[in-house]
Amino acid sequence: MSTSEHPISGLDDTVHQRARLGILSLLSTGVAMEFPAVRATLGLTDGNLNRHLAVLERAGLGSSSRQTGRGRPKTWLEITRAGQAALDAELDALRKLIAATEQGRGGGPGSR
Q: Which three-class secondary structure state does DSSP give residue 31?
A: coil
In the chain, what are the domains? 9-101 (1.10.10.10)
Q: How many Å apart are CA 97 and CA 44, to the nearest integer?
A: 28
Q: Which among 62, 56, 64, 59 is positioned nearest to 80, based on CA atoms?
A: 62
Q: Which among 51, 58, 63, 50 is positioned nearest to 24, based on CA atoms?
A: 63
**What pTM was computed for the model?**
0.84
Q: Which three-class secondary structure state does DSSP give residue 14?
A: helix
Write out the chain's pLDDT in tens, 112 residues. Answer: 445 688 888 999 999 999 999 999 999 999 999 999 999 999 999 999 999 999 999 999 999 999 987 888 999 999 999 999 999 999 999 999 999 999 887 665 555 4
Q: Which contiguous run of DSSP H or E holds residue 91?
A: helix 81-104
